[in-house]
Amino acid sequence: MQNLEWVANWLRGSSLPLYFLVLIAVLFLYLGRGQMHIALRTFFGAIQKLLLSARQEILKAHARLLSRNREVLLSWGQAAAEQAIEREFYRLHAVVTRDLSGYPALQRKLSDQVMALDEDYRSSTESPPVSSAWLQALDHLSEIPAHGDPIVHEMLGHLQGSLEKSQKSAMKEYRESSRKRHQQLRRMLPFWREADQTLGRMQRTLENVSERSRVIDEQMEKLEQMRAGTNEAVRALSASSTMSFFTSSLVLSVLCLVGFVNFHLVEQPMSLMLGEESWVGPFQVSFLAALVMVVTQAVLGIALLESLRVTSLFPAIGNLDSEMRKWLMWLTGGLILALACVEASLAYMKQVAAADVLASQWAVSALTVPESYWVPSLGQMLLGFILPLVLLFVAIPLETFVQGARALSGGLLAISLVAVAFVLEMAAGAVRQLGEVFVHLYDLLVIFPLKLEELVVKAPVFHEKEGESQQGSNEIPREKVVPK
């Protein structure tokens, strides 16, 4: 460094002409041309290798991210499929327990009734019994000649009367038994109708069971594909997560509007209760109280749905035993109802305050408040009671939004890594070309010595001397030639 400073000072203090200094500089650059080329190519080559190494690392990170996104999608899909299968099995168990539990008793009852009806039907179709002894007696008596004998005539008359009485009694008994059988058949008709309705319900139940079984088979097939990690399952899960993300975003936007209306509904009554002069930093206490109230309603809704195992944002709540979850469910439900009632009363307070202001204004103008002014009060009270209940369902789209955002952000990050790798590859090529540009620019600084060197190299004398030197180098000394 001291030598260079001395040279610089000498050049500044010397009285040499400028062109001579330029000539010395050009000569110096010409003499160091080879080393400068090596230095420039090494420098830009190192930058190129660094960019290419960074590209390779980014591509490796992209591959790891794709694998991680695939694992996340498959795990999420497997969890959803297992939950759906569990829900379908629960419904199937409920259907079987509720509708098919009494099937054996009903089957035995139907069999007994069918047998009884069959016996009654067979007995109701039998012909009236006729005594064969009477027929034989009549045959023999009809062969006895009467010949005007009054005793035989009287005896035949008695027999005929007894036979007619016996026949009438038998027909009466037959008709009575037939009437009883038909009455029994008529009494069994409502049972047959009930049995037909029961069989129809059982048929619908069996169709429901068959439909549940079909759904379970489809879910099991999807679960097997997810466990196998097929590309079709990954594509389907990716499309489903994207659609769920946009749908949940829309629902969350609507719920945010509901929360904003809810906040606006309770902010003014809070300012009347807490005063407008209380501040915490740049915010009013009433503003913070209304915001805390709305957020508390949303949090209680999330806790309620977690205790019901509708969502799984907080696994610690879902892992509680049934008794603790039951207590938590009742507690959160009671708090939500209490907050809904408080908000309804605050909404009523807001309307009453507005009515007082309006009444004072109308009193000045000698007008009266209309009797139907209670309708807006009732509407605001209903809004104050219903809006907190609507915010209960914020956990469902929130869970779907979180899951879809995870998958979508992973895909966007993978695309970003590919774009960065492409930019690094283009930058590496540009650095390599830039190194060549700097080499040519350096040669441009020493263009006159290079051209002079080129002219010297192309001169005929130089070629003759070069040829003689090559010929002299190729000759073998005589003293070293070995005679044959």
Q: What is the mean pLDDT of each run of 10 residues along the chain (484 residues)?
A: 55 57 76 86 92 93 90 85 82 73 69 66 55 56 60 67 71 75 68 70 78 83 82 84 90 92 84 74 83 91 89 83 89 91 82 62 49 68 88 90 88 92 93 89 82 74 53 45 40
Q: Give dist(CA 232, CA 239) in Å, integer.
A: 11
Quote the tokens at residue 115. 């047998």
> Residues, the chain, total?
484
- Nearest residue to 42 (alpha-carbon basis) of 438, 426, 447: 438
Task: Report residue 101: phi and psi, to 5°.
Answer: -70, -35
| pLDDT of res. 479 | 43
| pLDDT of res. 241 | 85
Q: Give dist(CA 387, CA 301) in Å, integer.
A: 12
| pLDDT of res. 90 | 80
- Nearest residue to 129 (alpha-carbon basis) of 171, 159, 184: 171
Q: Please say whether the beta carbons of 242 and 408 come within 8 A.
A: yes
Q: Please say whether the beta carbons of 207 and 73 come within 8 A.
A: no
Sequence spans of domains, the chain: 29-74+231-456, 100-228
User: Containing H/E element for 158?
Assistant: helix 150-228
| pLDDT of res. 476 | 42
| pLDDT of res. 257 | 92
Q: Please say whether the beta carbons of 370 and 395 come within 8 A.
A: no
| pLDDT of res. 420 | 94
| pLDDT of res. 322 | 84
| Cα-to-chain-centroid distance, residue 403 | 7
Rg (CA), the chain: 54
Supply angle C-alpha 56, 62, 68, rounded to 5. 140
Quote the tokens at residue 235. 């594509």
Count CA atoms within 13 Å of residue 23 on its CB side.
5
Which residues pair with residue 263 across a beta bridge? none
Burial class (CB in 10 A: 0-12, 13-18, 19+), 205: middle
Which residues pair with residue 284 across a beta bridge? 279
| pLDDT of res. 6 | 57
Q: Please say whether the beta carbons of 297 and 346 come within 8 A.
A: no
Quote the tokens at residue 290. 């209304």
Which residues pair with residue 26 across a beta bridge? none
Kindly give, in sequence order, each residue whose CB lies less than 8 Å from that of residue 369, ignoring residues fewer than 6 positions away. Answer: 355, 358, 359, 362
| pLDDT of res. 8 | 56
- Dihedral sign from CA coordinates of 211, 214, 220, 225: negative
